[in-house]
Amino acid sequence: MARIWTALLAAVTAIALAGPTMAQAATTITIDGTHGGRTFDGIGAISGGGGNSRLLIDYPEPQRGQVLDYLFKPGYGADLQVLKLEIGGDANSTDGSEPSIEHTRGTVNCGGGYEWWLAEQAKARNPNIELYGLAWAAPGWIGNGNFWSQDMVDYLMTWLGCARQHGLAIDFLGGWNERGYDKGWYENLHNTLAAKGYGGVKVVGADSGWEVATDMVKDPTFARAVDIVGAHYPCHGGDGGDAVSCGTTADALSTGKPLWASENGSQDVNSGTAALIRSITRGYLDAKMTAYLNWPLLAAIYPNLPYSTVGLAVAPSPWSGAYRTGKSTWATAQVTQFTKPGWHFIDSAGGYLGTSGSYVTLTDGHDYSTVIETSTATTAQTATFAVTGGLNTSSAHVWATSLGSGPDFQHTADVNGAGYTLTLQPNMIYTVSTTTGQGKGTATSPADHGLALPYNDNFDGYATGTEAKYLSDMQGSYEIQPCVGRAGKCVTQMAPVRPIEWQDDSDAFSLLGDQDWGNYTVSADVRLAAAGTVELMGRANSQSRPQSHQDAYYFRVSNTGAWSIVAGDNSGTLTTLASGTTTALGTNAWHTLSVTFQGNTITGAVDGHTAGTATDGRWTNGQAGIGIVGYATDQFDNLAITPGTGSPTRQGPITSGLAGKCAQAGAKVVLADCDGSAAQNWTARNGALMNSGQCMDVTGQATANGTLVELWDCNGGSNQQWTQAADGSLRSAQSGKCLDDPGFTTANGTQLEIWDCNGGANQLWRLP
């Protein structure tokens, strides 16, 4: 296939000026090295906002190194030029909670979390990569809950000191992600950086919208405190939008400061690629933005969390080492492998193609690179180039990535001389460059497999202040600390009070394990540091935002002995299934809790004695977890998950509550008379509905009413995750919309779709 692809591209690439027998060129581009433009600041990505890199550190070698190479190694993959790091604050900021360096005032841990490790790995591969720090949340002690305080400025200075301990120089520092700005605080930050020896750190304001620029124009003192104007999702459609155009403001342009898309993306590693490249090229053409930072860096998160396939790579399975890159990896490479921060744009050599698409050109004064995207074109077109003004005219190299099903990052042709014509196919990215040294990594992922049970961890093998393997904090911060009242080490919840949050509050909890776990027992030793309630979780499946909207069962026991078995769902509803009183846990004493899931029976026990049982069938598979109701510095030890008997996997028909008919798999998912055929035999597992090895899929990841539902290769995308709500509706995890039988029809062959949930009988379904 690759050979055919290369030959095809070579055939449509004319390596000469257009002659009289050739089609008229749609676009003429003069690349003149004497012409100017803004300085290019780089293409990067964001580790944070939040927890989206969590599982990568737990990957085995060599796969962990392979993923890092694909992200950071020059001439290998995405070759990122900027890495933005979350400054952890013990609170969830989308896909998890990242630990603070200072949970309580004055106690600093520079070795916690994984962001320092990630930055070190990035720097080891590319010493020129620049680092950017930004807070989403903060510990609750700061400013007595006020982020815009002297405490927060001092906290950032402490964080910069931790960076120095790790041998890391921070290049850029922001304020509070997407929470506006306080002018006096930014001025204080600017002055404090200079006073504390960090005068080289550039301040980004305000990691929200362009409105900060208006105050900068009005207030010269404030303007001096902000070095870079950073806006989030400034292109068409906003967060996750199509980016067919981008925008800024007259005030932003008049500041004279660099303008950055300091967060962009929020899209699938494959289907979001066209928007990614448009944001880069059209971001400069339309709005003079000189840096693009993709959110997130990668999806190294459990697949039941939001945005589980979003980023430049996907790595949800550390026990197997399985990972994948995507089109977005190589769209990024089409820019980063041919440019460097410090180059400048040639404004006269950038624009919109005659048919459809866009292009930008950058240069270091000798070499140049022109990046072209034809993502909105429907037919082939030609572009004629003339190179002048002292630029390298000896040879240029054409690389291409298909935005469709074709190969990625292929060297397709070389062009010689001061002029040439290219035929540009639709739905492509091209880079024409006089630089060399590009390459495409060859490492491959092993096959994915589940995490086998039994699983147990006594936590004694970890360094104090670090995170336990596979435990992914959703809220609060669970760190390894010496046990109190017994020998060895334990997991301790370190946030004693509610943090300054970015996303809504929830109990402090942490998840671990495989979505395919079904019948099993979770057990752990627990110690309450104060009066309150601890919990063990099981069958934790789909999570919506905020993190309290979690499909799961909870076995909760308080210091008084009050216990309950609770079902939660991803609408945020908690339903108590059973409750009572058992042995009081007290405080500062160790007890063993366990909860067993066997079929539809849930059994909670304290110190080996059954506290109570409940019967419920809504969740059949999912992860284990530990948690605290609220915030306390409670401890957990000897966490174990042991297998039960039998498989809880549900298999059979999906029947309509309106028509009494079945959902039938095919090119589209349709209604049909129930006949027991293989096309009607669905497997409900891990949040997905599968038939013949493929998944029920919302077409194109669209969220509009009327989008058809089809069968597609399973990829873990949120458009393939379904949850049955308490009202009997079947809801897409991506949009929250319901599987719908349009028009209340009962006709065979009716294609199913998604629609706003309305409680109608045509949205009621019975799963196997």
Computed on alpha carbons and rounded to an integer, the radius of gyration of the chain in Å comes to 27
- Collapsed DSSP state (helix, strand, coil) of residue 763: helix
Max CA separation in the chain (angstroms): 92
Asked if residue 310 has pLDDT above 90, the reply is: yes
The confidence band for 25, taking pLDDT boundaries of 50, 70 and 90, is low
Query: What pLDDT, in 10s, does the model give residues 184-238?
Result: 999 999 999 999 999 999 999 999 999 999 999 999 999 999 999 999 999 999 9
Crossing angle of helices 183-195 and 150-165, in 10° steps, is: 40
Mean pLDDT of the residues in the chain: 93
Nearest CA to 273 out of 219, 226, 328 is that of 328
Q: Residues 688-731: pLDDT tens digits? A: 888 877 889 999 888 899 999 998 878 777 788 887 765 678 88
The pairs formed by 214-218 with CB atoms below 8 angstroms and a separation of 24 or more are 214/249, 214/251, 215/181, 215/183, 216/251, 216/255, 216/257, 217/251, 217/254, 217/255
The first and second tokens of residue 653, run together, are 């028909």
Non-local (6+) Cβ contacts of 250 within 8 A are none
* Residues designated as active site: 178, 263
DSSP state of 78: -
The pTM (predicted TM-score) of the whole model is 0.87
Q: Name the percent of the chain lying above pLDDT 70.
A: 95
Structure tokens at 379: 């037919």
**CA 68 to CA 56: how far, in whole Å?**
9
Residues 1 and 9: their CA atoms lie apart, in Å, by 12
Q: E strand or H helix at 252, and its extent?
A: helix 250-254
- Structure-block tokens of residue 510: 């942490």
Query: What's the count of helices (H) and strands (E) in the chain, helices before strands?
Result: 10, 48
Confidence class of residue 650 from pLDDT cuts 50, 70 and 90?
Answer: low
Which of these, 523, 533, 632, lies nearest to 582 by C-alpha position? 533
User: CA 741, CA 700: separation in Å to the nearest integer?
Assistant: 19
Contact between residue 442 and residue 62 where contact means Cβ atoms under 8 Å apart: no
Cis bond upstream, residue 454 (ω within 30) = yes
DSSP 117-174: HHHHHHHHH-TT-EEEEEES-B-TTGGGG-SSSHHHHHHHHHHHHHHHHTT----EEE
Sign, CA dihedral 126-130-134-139, equals positive
Q: How long, in residues, is the chain?
A: 768
Q: Is the model more confident about 650 or about 172? A: 172
pLDDT in tens, 497-511: 999 999 999 999 999
**Which of residues 174 and 689 earns the better pLDDT score?**
174
Judge whether 363 and 338 are in contact, CB under 8 Å.
no
- The full set of domains in the chain, from first to last, is 2-36+358-433 (3.20.20.80), 42-342 (3.20.20.80), 455-643 (2.60.120.560), 650-766 (2.80.10.50)
The stretch 350-371 carries a mean pLDDT of 97
The answer to whether 579 touches 565, Cβ cutoff 8 Å, is yes
Reported as a single tens digit per residue, the pLDDT across 738-749 is 999 998 888 888
pLDDT tens for residues 240-265?
A: 999 999 999 999 999 999 999 999 99
Q: Which of 16-25, 103-112, 137-146, 305-314 has the lowest mean pLDDT?
A: 16-25
Task: Judge whether residue 356 has pLDDT over 90.
Answer: yes
Higher pLDDT residue, 656 or 271?
271
Instruction: Compute the average pLDDT of residues 458-480.
Output: 98
**48-62, 370-384, 556-570, 642-656, range with the lowest pLDDT:** 642-656
Helix (H, G, I), strand (E, B) or coil at 756: coil
Percent of the chain surpassing pLDDT 90: 82
Confidence category of residue 6, pLDDT binned at 50, 70, 90: very low
- Rounded distance between C-alpha atoms, residue 703 and residue 719, angstroms: 9
Q: Are 163 and 200 a contacting pair, CB within 8 Å?
A: no
What is the pLDDT at residue 19? 33
Q: Is the pLDDT of residue 3 over 70?
A: no
Task: Compute φ and ψ for 708, nearest 5 degrees.
Answer: -75, 155
The pLDDT value recorded for residue 744 is 82
- The candidate with the shortest Cα–Cα distance to 615, out of 631, 637, 599, is 599
Residue 105, pLDDT > 80, answer yes
Assess whether pLDDT exceeds 70 at residue 2.
Answer: no
Q: What pLDDT is attached to residue 7?
A: 37
**Number of Cβ atoms within 10 Å of the Cβ of 229:** 27
Give the model confidence (pLDDT) of 258-300 as tens digits.
Answer: 999 999 999 999 999 999 999 999 999 999 999 999 999 999 9
pLDDT digits (tens, 9 = 90+) for 604-622: 999 999 999 999 999 999 9
